[in-house]
Amino acid sequence: MGGMGSGQHWCCGAKDSTNDYRSIDVRRWKRDGLLAPHQSFGWQWSRHGEVVASIQVRTELDRVILTYRHRSGGEDWKGENYPVYLDWTACNLGVQRPWFLCPARGCGRRVAILYGGRIFACRHCYQLAYPSQRETWDDRAARRADRIRDKLGWEPGILNDNGWKPKGMHWNTFERLTAQHDTFVQISLAGMVAKLNLPEPSLNVTEDQRKEIQRLSGLGVPIREIAAIVGISVPTIYKYYREDLITGNALDNSEVVSALYDAAMKGNVKAQIYWTKRRCGWKEGGEIFDDMDNQSKGQIQVMTNTLIPAGDSRDEHRSPLRGAGGGTEPVES
Ligand SMILES: [Zn+2]
C-alpha cells in the first residue's frame, strides 16, 4: 500500500485551495455501496494514470476506520489508524444521506468531504478556500475556456490554437462552444494584459473584411457560410476574426500572446507563470465535485501537522453537534 505523498507546496499568498488536497467524499462511497458495515476496501488517487496515494478503509456499523501511512518532507513514514464516525440525515423520499463527522479533535462537523493532509479533516479545520473563492475573474475565464477545450477534444491550454470540430458534433453546437471559448480566452487575455502592464494590442485586420464578417454574423449567417462568402477557411476565420464574430470589438490575440511571450522571456515572473499555466493547460484547480477521479488529478499534496485525530472517544467527537436544539445544520462541503 502506498501512503499519502510527500509534501510540496507551490503556491503562496492565498489560502490553500481544496484542490491541493486529496479528499474522500462520503456521497461517492455511498453511491458505490462501500458504506455497508463489515467490509474493507482500498481507496486511491492517481495522477497521470499512476497511483500516487492510497488508504485502506474498514467499515463498521456507524463509522469507518482509515488506515494509511504518511510522511512530510524527508521524514520517515508514519502509520495512522483512526475512526471517522458517520451520521445520517433523512432527505427526500425517505433516503438516508450519509455524512462524515470531521475526526479532528474538537471539530466533529458534519461534512460530505474530508481532505487528507496528515489526517483527514474538514475544510474548516484546514481553513481551505474553494478554488472559486481565490480565483480572479480572468483565471475563471481561462478555466471555463479550458473546460470547453476539453469538451471539444482540443489540446489543453488557451494559448494554443483552436482545434477542429469533433466528429459527430453538430455545427451549431461547435460554433456555439467555439464562440464561448473565444470569449473566455479574450477575457482571460484582457485580464493578463491588465495584470502584466503589457502594451495594448492593436487591431490588425482589413477594415472591409471585418465589416463584412460583422455584417454577415449580425444577420445570423453561420460561420462556415461566412467563411465561404469572404473566401477564407473556417479555422482561419476563427483564428483571426473571432472577435468580430462575437462582439466585433476585441483584441488581436496573436499580438497579446507575443507580447506575453516577450515578457516571459525577459524574466517577468508573472508572465512566465501565466504562460506556463495557460500554454500547458496547467491547472491550479478544476471543478472539485464533478467526480473524484478528476478531483485527484494533478493535485499537489500539502502536509499539515497541527491537526490530530480525536481517536476513539466518540463523545468528544459528537459533542459539537449534539446540542439540545436538535443539532447543527449540516455543513455543506
Ligand atoms: Zn473539522
146 and 283 Cβ atoms separated by less than 8 Å: yes
279 confidence band (pLDDT: 50, 70, 90):
low
Domain borders along the chain are: 3-130+292-321, 135-280
- Mean pLDDT (the chain, rounded): 70
Strands 78-90 and 63-70: antiparallel
Model pLDDT, residue 35: 94
User: Looking at this protein, which amino acid is placed at residue 76?
Assistant: D
**What would the grid cell of residue 302 be?**
500539502
Q: Does residue 227 or residue 75 have the better pLDDT?
A: 75
User: 163-167, 222-226, 304-308: which has the minimum mean pLDDT?
Assistant: 304-308
CA 124 – ligand 1 centroid, Å: 5
Model pLDDT, residue 169: 94
Predicted model pTM: 0.41
What does the alpha-carbon distance between residue 66 and residue 54 come to, in Å, rounded to a whole number? 10
Of 94, 116, 99, 123, the closest CA to residue 35 belongs to: 99
Place of cell 494559448: 159
CA 186 – ligand 1 centroid, Å: 40
- Look at residue 173 and tell me whether its pLDDT is greater than 90: yes
Number of alpha helices (DSSP H) and beta strands (DSSP E) in the chain: 11, 10
Model pLDDT, residue 8: 35
- Look at residue 115 and tell me whether its pLDDT is greater than 80: yes
Model pLDDT, residue 283: 44
CA 20 – ligand 1 centroid, Å: 17
CA 82 – ligand 1 centroid, Å: 15
- Look at residue 3 and tell me whether its pLDDT is greater than 70: no
Model pLDDT, residue 101: 94
User: Strand locations in 34-188, DSSP E?
Assistant: 40-47, 50-59, 63-70, 78-90, 96-101, 110-111, 113-116, 120-121
Indicate the burial class of 114 (C-beta count within 10 angstroms; 0-12, 13-18, 19 or more): buried
Q: Where are the alpha helices (DSSP H) in 197-313?
A: 207-218, 223-230, 234-246, 253-265, 269-280, 292-296
Segment 245-263 mean pLDDT:
60
115 and 123 Cβ atoms separated by less than 8 Å: yes
Of 18, 26, 38, the closest CA to residue 110 belongs to: 26
Contacts with 209 (C-beta within 8 Å, 6 or more apart), sequence order? 230, 241
**Order of all β-strands in the sheet with 22-25:** 22-25, 113-116, 120-121
CA 32 – ligand 1 centroid, Å: 24
The number of angstroms, rounded, from the C-alpha of 259 to the middle of its chain's C-alpha atoms is: 28
CA 169 – ligand 1 centroid, Å: 45
Model pLDDT, residue 316: 37
CA 109 – ligand 1 centroid, Å: 6
Top-confidence range, 133-147, 193-207, 276-290: 133-147
The string of pLDDT tens digits covering residues 4-49 is 443 333 333 345 555 556 889 999 999 999 999 999 999 988 877 7
